[in-house]
């Protein structure tokens, strides 16, 4: 008697811990239960993946979905719609909302808002502050929390811990890996007068490479002294990548598609406010340094740092324009284009978008295309050529810095816990997102 499954993904090239090869995948009750030749098996639903690559579900470990308080830019529904259209199965959302996510009530509120509205699975960072530092050990154990996030340099929002004593207090009280926006606020404050009105090329002078490097040196020193794990978000400098390579015992590293793809000054001249983010888009020397770190295995994860602002806000003359750009919907096609161009292997892409998140954050049942894990898949056509366009973006702000970018490689389906949520650029199963579970908080 043949085996029966809820879903069989048939005939695709499976890319996972075992390498690459043609295989079928069998799903039951939202979990992967078989990988291999299932040609004799039957299923309630069969997904024909012939000619496509079947990847573990892509996880974006840094997004800002702006809810509550800033819903005119984005909300949990629209941000997660953009995610699943981009092949993303789960997101970790940032705490710089209004009010900030810094206490149990604010975290619980986000989880309630997400239920029945978010299209992808989700977890939320709790913001670390001077005021809540002593409570962080309890806050990071709450269900639905992916960890603690700290801003060492002022970015968008009111969260800021700029001093060594504050960082030390945060790290003393956390046990999980804490994530940091690493720019030195003292140096940034000194350099703000360097901003030239209406000239976005001055953004990387204000927030120069030394601002990032000095902050990261301070952060690593404190983490080493306390024996704590840190995650350095959106690394942008060649020197940081070299320094962090020597400190992998405590530090993990995130890079973004924007910093790997856009370069200064060209991006600022062409895109103006649309190219403004923190830390800034930098020149080719630093971008080459990021790619070297990627090739050497120093970078652990890719995050989009999806941080939308309206076209009107972005049109203000620099420095009145806010920093941040959308990215959750374009992460997969932009990075698959680098795969197509030979800068990145498909296996390394999978490591950066699934396995890395699984390792760093201790996801209980996500991030690996393996028997026993959630049946999360990003199914892509590696040969598909598409132009990324403003009008195809699901984000509320309706723009992308990659407008006009010719992508090679495109997400054709997003499957979350065995449900086909997106297929052929259309969301076909809505609002099914659930909180992500983490091994370190299963008792929480």
- The SS3 of residue 180 is strand
Distances (CA, A) of 361 to 65, 206, 236, 310: 20, 33, 22, 32
Element (H, E) at 202: none
Distance between CA atoms of residues 325 and 334, nearest Å: 14
Task: For residue 58, give the nearest of 83, 82, 93 by alpha carbon.
Answer: 83
Report yes or no: 119 and 431 within 8 Å, Cβ to Cβ: yes
* Tokens matching residue 325: 């750009």
E-strand stretches of 191-323 = 230-232, 251-255, 301-302
Q: Calculate the CA dihedral of residues 92, 316, 162, 256 and round it to 10 degrees.
A: 40
Residue 68: is the preceding peptide bond cis (ω within 30°)?
yes
Based on the residue annotation, tell me whether 75 is a catalytic residue of this protein.
Answer: no
CA distance 322 to 305: 14
What's 290's DSSP letter? H
Tell me which of 75, 208, 305, 376 is the catalytic residue.
305
Distances (CA, A) of 434 to 81, 385, 430: 14, 32, 12
Q: Which are the catalytic amino acids?
A: 305
């Amino acid at each position: 008697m043949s085996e029966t499954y809820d879903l069989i993904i048939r005939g695709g090239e499976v890319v996972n811990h075992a390498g690459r090869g043609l295989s079928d995948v069998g799903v039951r009750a939202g979990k992967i239960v078989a990988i291999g030749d299932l040609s004799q098996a039957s299923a309630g639903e069969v997904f024909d993946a012939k000619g496509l690559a079947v990847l573990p579900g892509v996880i974006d470990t840094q997004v800002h979905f702006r809810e509550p308080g800033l819903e005119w830019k984005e909300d949990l529904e629209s941000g997660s719609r953009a995610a699943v259209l981009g092949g993303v199965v789960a997101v970790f959302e940032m705490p710089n909302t209004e009010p900030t996510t810094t206490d149990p009530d604010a975290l619980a509120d986000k989880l309630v808002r997400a239920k029945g509205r978010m299209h992808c699975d989700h977890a939320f960072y709790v913001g670390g502050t001077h005021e809540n530092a002593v409570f962080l050990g309890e806050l990071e154990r709450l269900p639905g929390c992916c960890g603690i996030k700290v801003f060492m340099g002022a970015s968008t929002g009111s969260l800021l811990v700029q001093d060594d004593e504050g960082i030390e207090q945060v790290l003393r009280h956390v046990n999980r890996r804490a994530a940091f926006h690493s720019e030195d606020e003292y140096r940034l404050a000194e350099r703000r007068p360097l901003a030239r009105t209406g000239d976005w090329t001055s953004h990387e002078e204000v927030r120069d490479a030394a601002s990032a490097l000095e902050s990261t040196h301070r952060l690593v020193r404190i983490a080493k002294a306390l024996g704590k794990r840190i995650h350095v978000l959106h690394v942008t400098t060649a020197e940081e990548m070299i320094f962090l390579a020597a400190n992998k015992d405590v530090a993990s590293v995130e890079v973004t598609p924007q910093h790997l793809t856009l370069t200064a000054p060209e991006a600022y001249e062409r895109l103006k406010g649309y190219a403004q983010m923190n830390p800034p888009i930098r020149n080719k020397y630093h971008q080459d340094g990021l790619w070297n770190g990627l090739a050497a295995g120093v970078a652990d994860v890719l995050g989009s740092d999806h941080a939308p602002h309206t076209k009107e806000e972005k049109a203000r003359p620099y420095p009145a324009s806010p920093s941040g750009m959308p990215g959750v919907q374009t992460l997969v096609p932009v990075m698959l284009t680098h795969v197509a161009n030979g800068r990145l292997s498909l296996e390394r892409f999978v490591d950066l978008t699934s396995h890395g998140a699984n390792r760093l954050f201790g996801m209980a049942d996500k991030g690996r295309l393996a028997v026993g894990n959630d049946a999360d898949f990003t199914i892509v056509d590696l040969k598909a050529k598409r132009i990324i366009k403003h009008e195809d973006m699901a984000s509320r702000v309706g723009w992308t810095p990659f407008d006009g970018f010719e992508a090679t490689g495109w997400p054709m389906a997003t499957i979350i816990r065995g449900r086909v949520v997106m297929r052929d650029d259309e969301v076909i199963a809505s609002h099914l997102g659930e909180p992500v579970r983490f091994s370190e908080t299963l008792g929480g």
